[in-house]
Amino acid sequence: MKNIFLISCVLLSGILSSQTFKEKLQHKKDSLEKVAKEKANAVIHTSSTPTLTNEEVIKGLKEALTVGTNKSSEAAAKADGYLKNPRLFIPWPPEALEMKTKLLKLGYKKKIEEFETSLNRAAEEAAKNSSTVFVDAITNMSVQDGFAILRSHDTAATNYLRKTTYTPLEDKFTPVVKEAINKVKVTGYWTPLVTVYNKLPGVKKQNPDLDKYVTNKAINGLMILISDEEVKIRKDPAARVSELLKKVFGS
């Protein structure tokens, strides 16, 4: 009886071991199939994602800035583009605030408002001819690592434009602003005010560089709008108006 029992145990153990072995084999097979499928999917996914070169990325960034510049110039050049936009509005020159305070007390509020309006009208007028100046700066902008800008924050390209081209941009944009200032007669609103103020006893004579002031404010305003457009292109597929933009920012 004992022998029969031992034989039965051995047979049962063998059957169980055989089943366990089969289960292990099946599990191994399933695991291998799963890995194979994942690799296949990875290959398909990779092949469907366009491969980008640094040169393509740089071209894409410059095109995005160009698109943004054209739209921003158009928006800023409209009537009240600066005047009625709190983010762009050009106020009374800060170095002459004491002058403004004294003139307000003397009842020159309307004249002050007219002068501030003229500053913003000059910027709007200058914006009409700003796109070519900006595009020239963008075209000549030297970018070493396009991927670093592409993968950075949403306004990285605009900030790079500001950092690397602001001085030459200012030099080229100043004549455009001067022409605009003359056209809308900014000095015609300023001269009577400064004449009255400079006649007051004990005041420091005021003569801010209006050309430089409006130029810097006009450029900064356009940069704000360009950065808005960059964010749109990065986040909204509908804003990517060319195949290059779709390829660069869609990846």
- pLDDT, one tens digit per residue, over 162-220 is 999 999 999 999 999 999 999 999 999 999 999 999 999 999 999 899 999 999 999 99
Q: Which of 191, 195, 188, 187 is nearest to 211 (CA)?
A: 187
* Tens digits of residue pLDDT in 176-192: 999 999 999 999 999 99
Which contacts of 235-241 are long-range, i.e. CB under 8 A and separated by 24 or more positions?
235/154, 241/67
Q: What is the pLDDT of residue 3?
A: 52
Give the total residue count for the chain.
251
- How far from 63 is each of 129, 139, 226, 245, CA to CA, in Å? 19, 9, 12, 7
As a whole number of angstroms, the longest Cα–Cα distance in the chain is 131
- How far from 148 is each of 61, 62, 151, CA to CA, in Å? 11, 14, 5
3-state secondary structure 146-173: HHHHHCCCCCHHHHHHHHHHHHHHHHHH
Contact status, residue 189 vs residue 118, Cβ threshold 8 Å: yes
Nearest 5°: the CA angle 218, 221, 225 is 135
* Tens digits of residue pLDDT in 73-91: 999 999 999 999 999 999 9
pTM of the shown model: 0.77
